Amino acid sequence: MFKRHITEQTAIFLSFLKWMILSTITGIIIGAIVTLFLKTIHYGEHLRDKLPFPYYYLLPFVMVLVVWLIKTFAPSAEGHGTEKVIEAVHKHHGKIDLKVVPVKLIATVLTIFAGGSVGKEGPAGQIGAASASGLSDLFRFSDQDRKKLVICGISAGFASVFGTPIAGAIFGVEVLIIGVILYDVLLPSFIAGFAAFTTAQFLGIEYTYYDLHYYQSIALDIPLILKVIGAGIFFGLISDLIVTAIHLIHKGLNKIPLPIYLKAFIAGSIVVLVGVLFGSQYLGLGMDTIKDTLNPDPYFAKDLPWYAFLLKTLTTGLTLGGGGSGGIITPIFYIGATSGHAFGAWVDYQHITLFAALGFVSVLAGATNSPIAATIMAVELFGLEIAHYAALSAVISFLLTGHRSVFPSQILAMKKSEMLEIKIGEEIEKAESQIELEERQISKFQRIRRRILRKKKQRGL
C-alpha cells in the first residue's frame, strides 16, 4: 500500500512539474504576442488624429478589406474569436491553424482603427489558443495534451488583456462548458494566465482599475440589496437582448441575396451613419465611455443618454455580422456599464456608479454564462467591497438569460430551471432548437386537441 502511495504521489508531482513548465512557457510567449497586439491597437488609435476626415468614414472600405483578408488567408479567423476557439476545443481537440495569429491580429487592428464596434479580448483569446496549438504541433503533443495547452492559451490571452489574471484564467476554463469547470486544467490555466499578465506588464502594458473603495462603509443595506436583485433581473434581460440581437442581425445579413463584400460595405455604412447621427462614442472600443460610467464623480457621464446600450448593441451586431474582425466582450462591458448607469439613474442615483460596475460584470455573466469569472473580475477591478453585490447580481443575470449565449458552441451541462426539459451534453445552439421543437410539439398537440373538441361539439349539435 505504501509503495502504491509513493507511486501515485510521484506521478502527480511529475505531471504537476510538466504542466508548470509548459504553462509558464506558453504564458510568456502569449503575453509577448498579446502585448504586440495591444500596442498595435493603441498606435492605430493615435494615427486616427492625422486623418483629414473622421476616421470612421473608412469603415465600409476596411470591412471589405477585412472580409477579403480572412476569406483568403485564414477562414477560421472569422467572427469574434472566442466562439471559434470553443468550437476548436470541443470538435477538433484544440487544433487551430497557426495562420490565425497574424491574420486575426491585422484584421482586428484594422477594424478597431476604422471604428468597428468590436473588442480585443476575443481575438486575444483566439491568438493565445492558436499559439498554444502551434506549440503543441511543434512538440508533437497528443490530442489530449494539445487540448489542455490550448485551454491554457485561452486563459493566457484573456488574462493579459483583462488585466485580471485570476478572472481571465477562470473565464478561459468556465466559458467552455456551462455548469462545469475543468479542474484538471485549472492550475495550468492559472499559471499561464499569471505568466502572460506578468509578461505584458513587464513589456509596458498598463491596466486600468477602478477605485470604488468608498462602498466599504455599506455594512448591511436591505433596500440596496433589493435594488441589486432588481438590477440582476434587469441585466439578465439586457444579456438576453444582446444574444438575440447579435443572432438576428447576423442571420438577417446572411439572408440578404448580395455578395459578401457588398454586404460588408452596407453594414459598415450603417455603422458610420450611427456615428454621424449620434456620435463616435458608439464606435470602436468605447473605453472612454466605460471609464466615465465607472468614475465615482457622476459629472463625467452626465451627458450619456439612457439608450446608449441599445446603440452599442446595434453597431456591434452590424460590425460582426457584416464581417468585421474583433471580439464581443469589450462591447458587452460597454453595454453592461451603460445599462447599469441607466438603471442607477432610474432607481438610485446615489449609487449610480455601483450599478454601472454591477452591469459591467453581470451582463458578462449572463451573455457568456460565466458568473464565477465575472464575480472574481469585480473583485479584481473594483475591490473586495463590491463582491457580495456583484455575486448576487451576476448569478441572477446568468440564470435569467436562459439557455442562450453569444457563444453558441458552448456545451450545456446543466439546466437553469427544473421546469424545463433540456438535452444536457449538447451545444447550447442545439439545446435552443430542442426547446423550440418541444414548443412546436406542444402547439401542434393543442391544435389537434382543439380540432377533436370542435368535431365532438359539432356531433353534439
Look at residue 460 and tell me whether its pLDDT is greater than 60: no
Task: Give residue 445's pLDDT.
Answer: 59
Mean pLDDT for all residues in the chain: 87
For 144-161, b/e burial (b = at least 16 CB within 10 A) is ebbbbbbbbbbbbbbbbb
* Architecture of the domain delimited by 2-202: Orthogonal Bundle (1.10)
Distance CA 236, CA 355 (A): 14
C-alpha cell at 340: 447599469
Give the residue-averaged pLDDT of 182-189.
87
- Give percent of the chain above pLDDT 90: 48
Average pLDDT over residues 350-373: 94
Bridge partners for 119 per DSSP: 327
Q: CA 326, CA 116: separation in Å to the nearest integer?
A: 8
Cβ count within 10 A of residue 76: 20
The pLDDT assigned to 334 comes to 96
* DSSP bridge partners of 327: 119
Question: DSSP letters along 362-378, please?
Answer: HHHHHHHT-HHHHHHHH
- Rounded Cα gap, residues 172 and 82, in angstroms: 9
Identify the band that residue 444 occupies on the pLDDT scale cut at 50, 70 and 90: low
**Higher model confidence: residue 209 or residue 132?**
132
pLDDT of 337 reads 96
Q: What is the largest CA-CA distance in the chain?
A: 87
Contact 307, 281 (CB under 8 A): no
Alpha-carbon torsion 23, 24, 30, 35, what sign?
Answer: positive
Residue-level pLDDT at 443 = 60
Q: Which of 76-85, 126-135, 140-149 has the lowest mean pLDDT?
A: 76-85
* Least confident range of 303-312, 395-404, 411-420: 411-420
Q: Judge whether 189 and 195 are in contact, CB under 8 Å.
A: no
Q: How far apart are CA 333 and CA 149, in angstroms?
A: 27
Collapsed DSSP state (helix, strand, coil) of residue 117: coil
pLDDT band at 456 (very low <50, low <70, confident <90, very high): low
Residue 437 confidence (pLDDT) above 60: no
pLDDT for 436 equals 55
Between 213 and 25, name the one with better pLDDT.
25
Average pLDDT over residues 118-135: 89
Kindly indicate the confidence band of residue 228, based on its pLDDT and cuts at 50, 70 and 90. very high
Amino acid at 252: G
Provide the 10 A C-beta neighbour count for residue 204. 9
Residue 446 has pLDDT above 60, yes or no: yes
Residue 458 predicted with pLDDT over 70: no
Reading the block at residue 401, the C-alpha cell is 438569460
pLDDT of residue 392: 95
Q: How far apart are CA 68 and CA 396, in angstroms?
A: 41
Task: Using DSSP, state whether 427 is helix, strand or coil.
Answer: strand
pLDDT at 6: 84
| Mean pLDDT, rounded, for 53-80 | 89
> Does residue 216 carry a pLDDT above 50?
no
Joined together, the cell numbers standing for residue 406 give 453569444
Per-residue pLDDT at 259 = 93
Say if residue 212's pLDDT is above 80: no
Tell me the mean pLDDT in the region 298-319. 89
217-412 belongs to which CATH class? Answer: mainly alpha
CA–CA dist 249, 100 (Å, integer):
25
**pLDDT for 384:** 83
For residue 4 the three cell numbers come to 502504491
Span 148-170, pLDDT tens digits: 899 999 999 989 988 888 998 89
